[in-house]
Amino acid sequence: MGEQEFWQSNARYIDAMINTVNTLAEDTYIYLLHIQQERAWFSETFKAHFGLHDTYAADHYAVMRGLIHPEDQWEYEEGIPERMQGINLDRELCVRMKDVFGEYHLFSFHTDLVTDEESGECYLLVLLHNENVLPKIDARTDLYSQARFTADLDATIKGDKPFAVLMIKLERFNNLNIIYGNEFTNHILKETALQFIYMMDEDSAVYRLDGPKFGFIFRGCGREKLLSFEQKIRERLAGGIQADNRRIGLKICAGAILIDHYAGRADDLSSKAAYALGHSETEHQGKLIIFNDEVQTVGNVDLELMKVIHLSVREGCKGFYVEYQPIVVSKTGRIVGAEALVRWCMEPYGIVSPGRFIEWMEMDPAMYDLGNFVLRTALQETVELLTILPEFVVNVNVSARQMEREEFRGQVLRILEETGFPADHLCLELTERCRDMPLEVIKREVEFFQRYGIRMAMDDYGTGSASSGIVLHAPMDEIKLDMSFIRGITEDVKKQAMVKSIVDFANCCGMSTCLEGVETEELQNYLRLYQATWFQGYFYSKPVGIEKLRELIL
């Protein structure tokens, strides 16, 4: 029997093979479309995940209309016919689809054509990937991902044996990005990851976290071993990483925590290591900071407060609420929107300024839940303002903890749907720590949200080295100038030149600008010379509750 006859005789097994492959491909679902007759075959895992009863369908559009979110159906019904003609096969198509439990998730469609040369019959192979599920391997470095780090940390805690967690961050990595470009810095990350892999043994593991950060778990590790390993990392990176015929010496900042016995959650432990890393970066010139030592030297008051705030997030954001600071038209002072700002109040602590906990929370995985709470609350409370001010736009800060997680896309779209808030009246402001993310990731996420009409803004523009790089590479809609540029501007020629150049640049590129920190009428009148789009500051109002904001608008 020849090869062709052999495979034809086994054609009855093809369905079973495809279903087996589909079962092994986690969070991925397959179906086939017959091009000439537009009939569909659905894999068993597709049927199970989306609650279908039949393997075959004479009208796949009818089936998909029952699964795809109503607002996304046009995208599917325009995109699939193109791909059936061989057009845009390599372009990703993303829509929201409803699973067997009635919940919508974001899926990306990947397609290719398969043709039977003898019969001339042609099929469109469609592979769906659930974008709301975090990958276990980091695509850029081939290391374990943030999701795997959390899972392994949880397993290590349950092992009830001593261990250590180390987090490091490559210093001034954004400078390398600006000087040499993304391709070069991606190569640096890859080579750095390889160096770390060579250093691992059976009791240790390395993970790629967000941006230029790496995490390590050392089982059966005490202080001496931790200090020795951290020193080896410094020495190896200081010797230089080879990339594109260049050898680049790297420095790190580092934070760690030592555990004998621990009964808490993995993300609580991770946030403590991240806290130590933050202190290494901001207050100790990169020196290794061990959280256990910080508790002894800093005292328990603030750390205890952070623990209470962290638990408040875990308990459904208990004690948190949102206030709003108006944003006005620069020429007239008329309110056109507001920025949503998080607040926290709980006895016996009273009202705690966000300045005391936001820095900590932005290093804590719980920031994802807190950020989503602020987004949902802001849209729920302000949607009715559109009836009295149709052009109203609400600005909501998003953290790196949100932007770096793929499921955040679907979360934003679900909140918009549930609250009935129109997407084109929402502006997401990227906070300072988002600048540590790779530029291509920021660009991809910004473009995704803009496809749904959501505006994107760069908050505190000009305060970090990565601000310009992001604005140049990602299609931002708005720039918000940090108030440090506005204070004393009437007497500071350098600030005057800086603000003028930024506003002129934005105007030339079709971006809006918002000047923060407008506190007096005199300052307002002076700043109008720069022709910015919007103003924000205490002259118009301090942050207020939703009822007071409604009064101000009326």
Nearest of 362, 369, 497, 490 to residue 430 by alpha carbon: 362
Residues of the chain with CATH 3.30.450.20: 3-130
Looking at this protein, which amino acid is placed at residue 86?
G
CA–CA dist 32, 18 (Å, integer): 10
Residues of the chain with CATH 3.20.20.450: 307-553
pLDDT of the residue at 175: 76
Count the Cβ atoms, other than its own, within 10 Å of residue 331. Answer: 12
User: What CATH topology corresponds to 3-130?
Assistant: Beta-Lactamase (3.30.450)
In contact, 425 and 386? CB cutoff 8 Å: yes
Provide the angle, in degrees to the nearest 10, between the axes of the packed helices 266-283 and 146-158.
120
What is the bridge-based pairing of β-strands 350-352 and 393-398?
unpaired
Looking at this protein, which amino acid is placed at residue 112?
D
Place of tokens 């207020």: 544
pLDDT of the residue at 387: 94
Q: Which residues contact 462 (CB under 8 A, 6 or more apart)?
A: 481, 482, 485, 498, 502
Structure-token pair, residue 255: 């934070």
CA–CA dist 45, 444 (Å, integer): 29
Structure-token pair, residue 470: 């992001």
CATH code linked to domain 146-298? 3.30.70.270
pLDDT of the residue at 11: 52
In contact, 426 and 455? CB cutoff 8 Å: yes
> Per residue, what are the HEC states of 201-263?
CCCEEEEECCCCEEEEEEECCCHHHHHHHHHHHHHHHHCCEEECCEEECCCEEEEEEEECCCC
Burial class (CB in 10 A: 0-12, 13-18, 19+), 235: exposed
Sheet arrangement for strand 213-219: 204-208, 213-219, 163-170, 252-259, 289-290
Q: Which residues contact 246 (CB under 8 A, 6 or more apart)?
A: 180, 184
Looking at this protein, which amino acid is placed at residue 122?
C
Q: How crowded is the C-beta side of 255, counted as CA atoms within 13 Å?
A: 23
CATH superfamily of the 307-553 domain: EAL domain (3.20.20.450)
Structure-token pair, residue 446: 């910004």
pLDDT of the residue at 262: 78
Place of tokens 């600006």: 178
- DSSP, residue by residue, 459-519: EEETSSTTHHHHHHHS--SEEEE-GGGTTTGGG-HHHHHHHHHHHHHHHHTT-EEEEE---
pLDDT of the residue at 226: 93
List the chain pLDDT tens, one digit each, 554 residues.
555 565 455 455 455 556 556 555 567 888 988 888 888 888 888 988 899 988 888 888 999 999 999 888 888 998 999 999 888 888 778 888 998 888 888 888 988 888 877 777 888 889 988 877 666 788 888 888 888 898 889 889 888 789 999 999 998 887 777 777 878 888 899 999 999 998 988 889 999 998 899 999 999 988 889 999 999 999 999 888 887 788 888 999 999 999 887 777 787 788 888 888 888 887 788 899 988 776 544 444 466 777 788 888 888 899 999 999 999 999 999 999 999 999 998 877 778 878 778 877 877 778 889 999 999 999 999 999 999 999 999 999 998 888 888 789 899 999 999 999 999 999 999 887 777 777 778 888 889 999 999 999 988 776 654 456 677 777 889 989 888 888 888 888 998 898 998 899 888 888 999 999 999 999 999 999 999 999 999 999 999 999 999 999 98
Three-state secondary-structure class, residue 452: coil
For the stretch 32-36, contacts whose Cβ atoms lie closer than 8 Å and that sit 24 or more positions apart, written own/partner, are 32/123, 32/124, 32/125, 32/126, 33/60, 33/80, 33/84, 33/123, 33/124, 33/126, 34/121, 34/122, 34/123, 35/84, 35/113, 35/121, 35/122, 35/123, 35/124, 36/121, 36/122
Place of tokens 């019969």: 119
pLDDT of the residue at 466: 47
CA–CA dist 30, 401 (Å, integer): 31
Place of tokens 């409604």: 550
pLDDT of the residue at 463: 61
Residues of the chain with CATH 3.30.70.270: 146-298
CA–CA dist 277, 168 (Å, integer): 7
